[in-house]
């Protein structure tokens, strides 16, 4: 069964919109775990427009499932992750001005950079994952960096699936097959939802973890957080 990690960035966005502490990010993380989520994901950005660096520190003692911190490994992010020591760090090549992640790493072009970053995290006991597009040469490139896992960037799949194009799963299936053969663990995330998660999971061999935030929070507005988490867990079985 693939683990469900709940990305709580949107809760921080809602909190920050009023300048106070409602909803409380730490309490929400505690609640989603109590409701059955098997991990908590955050993606702090340099401008702290949603998750703040202090949130990452505050969550450390409260996340008793898997704690996943995503981000571009700039100096301040590196320092934060090495201080907090989460279960997993997911490296994402975000530009500072993007609204949300919009591309995977070019693991060939940035091979040496990624090797050095990953080595430092792994020496500190932190599992590493690289955000990648479903391109075979990029999967092979990821293997060469020494990463433990890849995270498949699933926006293209989600968009095509919503249009009725189930063949959009093919590059993800082929990438997963290759990753399995190379001994890489497989995570996935971006625009996965209750509508598409079961089809995706059923077609990705040895999927270990999905990180879902925006859709889960939006669905929870109508269906309730606890109910939505249980629905995801059922579809991921």
**52 assigned binding-site residue:** no
Q: Is 110 a catalytic residue?
A: no
**127 assigned binding-site residue:** no
**49 assigned binding-site residue:** no
Q: Cβ atoms within 10 A of the Cβ of 210, count?
A: 30
Q: Is 190 a catalytic residue?
A: yes
The alpha carbon of residue 44 and the mean position of all alpha carbons in its chain are separated, in whole angstroms, by: 12
**18 assigned binding-site residue:** yes
Instruction: Indicate which residue of 43, 151, 209, 219 is catalytic.
Output: 43
Identify the bridge partners of residue 4 per DSSP, sorted by sequence position. 210
Instruction: Indicate which residue of 38, 66, 70, 151 is catalytic.
Output: 70
**191 assigned binding-site residue:** yes
Instruction: Indicate which residue of 38, 66, 151, 190 is catalytic.
Output: 190
Query: What would the DSSP string read from start to end of 155-219?
Result: HHHHHHHHTT-GGGGHHHHHHHHHHHHHT-EEEEESS--TTTHHHHHHTSTTEEEEEE-HHHHHH
**195 assigned binding-site residue:** no
**50 assigned binding-site residue:** yes
Whole-angstrom distance, CA of residue 117 vs CA of residue 147: 10
Region of 125 (left: φ > 0; alpha: ψ -120 to 50; beta: rest) is left
Which position has the token pair 């859709």?
A: 215
Q: What is residue 149's three-state secondary structure? A: strand
**110 assigned binding-site residue:** no
Which active-site residues does the annotation give?
43, 70, 190
Give the residue numbers of the binding site: 7, 18, 45, 50, 100, 191, 213-214
Give the residue numbers of the binding site for 3-amino-2-oxopropyl phosphate: 7, 18, 191, 213-214
Give the residue numbers of the binding site for 1-deoxy-D-xylulose 5-phosphate: 45, 50, 100
């Amino acid at each position: 069964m693939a683990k469900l990690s709940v990305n709580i960035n949107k809760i921080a966005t809602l909190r920050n919109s009023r300048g106070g502490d409602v909803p409380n990010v730490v309490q929400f993380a505690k609640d989603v775990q109590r409701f059955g989520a098997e991990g908590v994901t955050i993606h702090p950005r340099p401008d702290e427009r949603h998750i703040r660096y202090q949130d990452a520190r505050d969550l450390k003692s409260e996340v008793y499932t898997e704690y996943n911190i995503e981000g571009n490994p700039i100096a301040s992010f590196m320092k934060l992750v090495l201080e907090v020591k989460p279960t997993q760090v997911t490296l994402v090549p975000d530009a500072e001005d993007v609204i949300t992640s919009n591309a995977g790493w070019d693991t060939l072009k940035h091979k040496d950079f990624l090797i050095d970053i990953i080595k430092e995290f792994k020496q500190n006991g932190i599992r590493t994952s690289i955000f990648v597009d479903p391109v075979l040469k990029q999967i092979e490139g990821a293997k060469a960096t020494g990463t433990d896992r890849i995270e498949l960037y699933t926006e293209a799949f989600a968009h095509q699936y919503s249009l009725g194009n189930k063949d959009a799963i093919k590059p993800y299936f082929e990438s997963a097959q290759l990753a399995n053969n190379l001994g890489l663990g497989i995570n996935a995330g971006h625009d996965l939802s209750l509508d598409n998660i079961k089809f995706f999971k059923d077609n990705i061999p040895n999927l270990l973890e999905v990180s879902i935030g925006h859709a889960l929070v939006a669905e929870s507005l109508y269906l309730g957080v606890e109910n939505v988490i249980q629905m995801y867990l059922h579809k991921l079985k």
